[in-house]
Each structure stands twice: as structure tokens, then as C-alpha cells.
Amino acid sequence: ELPSADVLSRQRYAIVVADWNSEITHALAQGAIDTLLKHGVKEEHIDVMHVPGTVELTYGAALYVNGRKNFGRRKLADAVIVIGCVIQGDTPHFDYVCQSVTQGVTALNAQEGRADGFHLPNTCPVIFSVLTTLDKQQALDRAGGRLGNKGVEGAVTAIKMANLL
């Protein structure tokens, strides 16, 4: 179950999307945006940041998590969705990229914040919506093809995680 549209209309969501494999990542981002809007998030409460590639997703997300990028008047994101696509090739580069972004997102979700001198868990979940596929067709199948759009799943997860507390 998702929160009411009334609750979601007050929340803010950031989407950090890698432009590498843009045919796939932009379709995933659109699926996430459409889902957030469908459930009541206001269009002006969705911020999309583009970064060159999947490795850079962690830095983009960290800008929102740490409050350096916000929605004006210091209103922070309630959740950040990172969207990328890594397709396996003939070199170990695939493994390094996947490991880098996975560890980066995990670290962001585990970091502690500070409020009035008390240590608090990170109050902004980072949702991992990165496809790691063996070939381009597998990615297309998950970006609006026969297996749906994993960006939609990322948005639903973001809504649920932003409303845990």
C-alpha cells in the first residue's frame, strides 16, 4: 500500500539519471516520473539531474542526500532514485562499474546524519534502479519492453521508503 495523494503531494523526489545508454536510462527515468505523478507527487516536486555515466550516480545522489542540491528554501528530497544501465562487454569494466555504484549507493544509505548534536540515520533513502544486463536486449526488455519498466518499480520503492518513518 502506498500513502495517500495528500501525503505525496507534499513530498519531493530526486531522480539522478546516467546519460550513458540513454535510450534505456531515459525510458526508465520517464517511467519513474510518470509513476510519481500518477500517485500524487507534484511535478514541481520532482527534480531530475543528469550525470554522464553510472559511476557518477553516487556523486549526484550525494548532493541531494547531503543537502547541497535541494528544492529551494532548504527543502530536501524525501528520496533519491538513481537510474543507470550497465551492459556487460568483453572486458572487466562491467564488474568495476557495477561494484562502484553498488558500494556507493550502499554507503549513502548507511551514512549517519546529524541533527541538534544527535546522530540520526540518513533521512533520505537512495533507491538503486540500475540495470546490469548481459546484452542490450535484456535492458530494453526492462525499460518499457516485455518485462515492464524498472523505473516504475524504483519510483514505487522510493515512495515506500520515504514513508517508513
What pLDDT does residue 120 have? 52
Of the candidates 26, 45, 93, 119, the residue annotated as catalytic is 93
Quick count: other Cβ atoms within 10 Å of Cβ 76? 16
What pLDDT does residue 117 have? 52
**3 state SS for the chain:** CCCCHHHHCCCCEEEEEECCCHHHHHHHHHHHHHHHHHCCCCHHHEEEEEECCCCCHHHHHHHHHCCCCCCCCCCCCCEEEEEEEEECCCCCHHHHHHHHHHHHHHHHHHCEEEECCEEEECCCCEEEEEEEECCHHHHHHCEEECCEEHHHHHHHHHHHHHCCC
What pLDDT does residue 128 have? 98
Distance CA 113, CA 64 (A): 13
What pLDDT does residue 73 have? 72
What pLDDT does residue 122 have? 58
Half-sphere exposure of 98 (CA within 13 A, CB side): 14
pLDDT, mean of each 10-residue run, the chain (165 residues): 91 97 98 98 97 97 89 85 95 92 95 58 86 97 97 98 88
What pLDDT does residue 9 have? 94
Does 50 qualify as catalytic in the annotation? Answer: no
What pLDDT does residue 104 have? 96
* 8 A C-beta contact, residue 9 and residue 41: yes
